[in-house]
Structure 1
């Protein structure tokens, strides 16, 4: 009787695994089809200008998770690789801005200067190296047992957060430079 119970348990487990895998595969492909249909209709609406601007902005929000103006959306969609341009734009908000009047991107305040852009990436990388090194110094000096002290753990975690933030900023700034170099405008 015990063997039959184990055998039934194995079959039920296999069926459950099969069901989960099938559901995941079908849900994934169904989601992609729905996303394609939505995007196709959205772009059609964007070009006919029949939809209200709010609907177009919300449609782009549904695709990207970010709010952009219609003019900026049209510019991003006009690029040779719109998915790539949209993806880049999502990570560079701290460094560039879109002007509604000129319908062009420009560097934000301090990044508008050539000297700042020349060294900003290096600065972010140096900040990462310094803060990550400072976070590891107590561990190198005292060993891993130092992490039992709450104040040291707080200090180390704080520095690691700053280090990771600096590394993310370094990566995003490099992406912003590539974005600004590769963006194409209709009138140029």
Structure 2
């Protein structure tokens, strides 16, 4: 077998790593319009500090800030008291399906829902999602991999890529997304240990 075929493998692996990094950033919400978010957050907090906003407007402002209506004013204001609050707020919105907010002795606390309390179970789930992502991603790329040895025609490889992408791309994306949700949730729950207890908004 021509050694040039084997020399193509590192290029394919590099492309896979780059694509995985891009998809991870996309799944974790890092590819956002930061300047627009900064201006909106600054204007919103200034309006709130002025004391002239109705609670309804505050709630809608917070929901617009995080990009979802499935969050309460109390949840946002608690997260704003955490260290690195911007990252924590992003983590909470993304991982919320796995988390719950509780009140303990007058303090608010975010933790994993009972089903996901076990750190071992979360580790196994994250590992499982990572394995699924790798398998499905390899299946998406399989036409290019097999082309190293089988030398498909341009028409054949285009057809095979279309088929593999239509079948396996969505499962790969969903596996990566769910694993990322759990990782972001763990980051948020652990970060509460750095609570500043400085309320940024007073009513």
Instruction: Give the structure-2-normalised TM-score.
Output: 0.60
Structure 2 portions without partners, runs of 5+: 1-33, 198-203
Tell whether 2:162 aligns with 1:156.
no
Tell whether 2:38 aligns with 1:36.
no
Tell whether 2:178 aligns with 1:175.
no
Tell whether 2:156 aligns with 1:146.
yes
Instruction: Give the structure-1-normalised TM-score.
Output: 0.65
Task: Encode CA deviations 1:82-105: one digit per residue, 9 max, x unaligned.
Answer: 222112212212321324787322
Query: Normalized per residue, which structure has more helix?
Result: 1
Q: Do 2:47 and 2:53's aligned partners in 1 also have CA atoms closer than 8 Å? A: no
Aligned match of 2:72: 69
Which has the larger Rg? 1
Structure 1 portions without partners, runs of 5+: 1-27
State the Cα RMSD in Å.
Answer: 3.3
Displacement over 6 Å in runs of 4+: 28-31
State the aligned residue count: 154
* Secondary structure of 2:97's aligned partner: coil
**How has the CA–CA distance of structure 1 residues 62 and 148 changed in structure 2, closer, same or farther, with 3 Å as cutoff?**
closer
Higher relative contact order (CA 8 A, sep 6+): 2
1:59 corresponds to which of 58, 61, 64: 61
Q: Do 1:138 and 1:146's aligned partners in 2 also have CA atoms closer than 8 Å? A: no
Aligned match of 1:137: 142
* Secondary structure of 1:183's aligned partner: helix
